Amino acid sequence: MAGVNKVILIGNLGSDPEVRHLSSGSVVANFNIATSESYTNKNGEKVTQTEWHRIELWDGLAKVAEQYLKKGQTVYVEGKLKTENWQDSDGNNRTTTRIRGLNLTMLGGKGSEHSGDNNETQQNDEPAPQVKPTSSAAPQTDDEVDDLPF
């Protein structure tokens, strides 16, 4: 049976992306995003828990990140978990887990020059990413019209 390795996150960038241009011609961007969850504990106090996630983007998406992403922006990331095992300089075994981003949508937020724009990019096998603005444009055919009241 095949498994599913899929991660979906909406969070805020903790810093500008770190972008490297490799000698092979590939581009890789790394950045952290924070996701927060709030709840009220049994003492009635509001508690906020923040998780940090390491995101890795390659090639077309990395170029988009380099050009458009800034600290504080809100992004939607779809990807998969990648785990690496390695030894540190003291010989201790270490494990690092990151999200290899396969889909990115810029949602705006603090530090965004495009706060009102929703630009979606999706990585594929082409060297440059597709950039499609999302909009609420009217459907183009009668088949796309639904009768839902909301």
- Dihedral Cα 92, 29, 100, 78, nearest 10 deg: 140
Residue 146 lies in a domain: no
Q: Identify the CATH number of the domain in which residue 88 sits.
A: 2.40.50.140
Give the pLDDT of residue 109. Answer: 62
Residue 147 lies in a domain: no
H helix or E strand, kind and range, residue 130: strand 130-133
pTM for the complete prediction?
0.69
**Residue 40 bridge partners (DSSP):** 46
Residue 61 lies in a domain: yes
Between 133 and 6, residue with greater pLDDT: 6
Range of the domain at 129: 7-36+47-134
pLDDT, tens digit, 9 for 90 and up, residues 8-29: 999 999 999 999 999 999 999 9
What's the average model confidence in pLDDT over 36-46? 94
Among the ranges given (16-30, 55-69, 73-87, 130-144), the one the predictor scored with the smallest mean pLDDT: 130-144
Most distant CA atoms of the chain, gap in Å:
66
d(CA 24, CA 41): 51
Give the pLDDT of residue 75. Answer: 96
Give the pLDDT of residue 111. Answer: 53
Residue 114 lies in a domain: yes
| H runs (alpha helix) in 41-142 | 59-68
Give the pLDDT of residue 144. Answer: 47
Residue 144 lies in a domain: no
CA distances from 97 to 29, 42, 43, 104 (A): 16, 32, 34, 19
- Give the residue among 143, 149, 63, 75 at the shortest CA–CA distance from 110: 75
Res 47 pLDDT > 80: yes
Res 117 pLDDT > 50: no
Share the mean pLDDT of the chain. 81
d(CA 80, CA 102): 8
Residue 142 lies in a domain: no
pLDDT, tens digit, 9 for 90 and up, residues 78-111: 999 999 999 999 999 999 999 999 999 999 766 5
- Give the residue among 138, 143, 120, 142 at the shortest CA–CA distance from 130: 120
Number of domains composing the chain: 1
d(CA 47, CA 52): 17
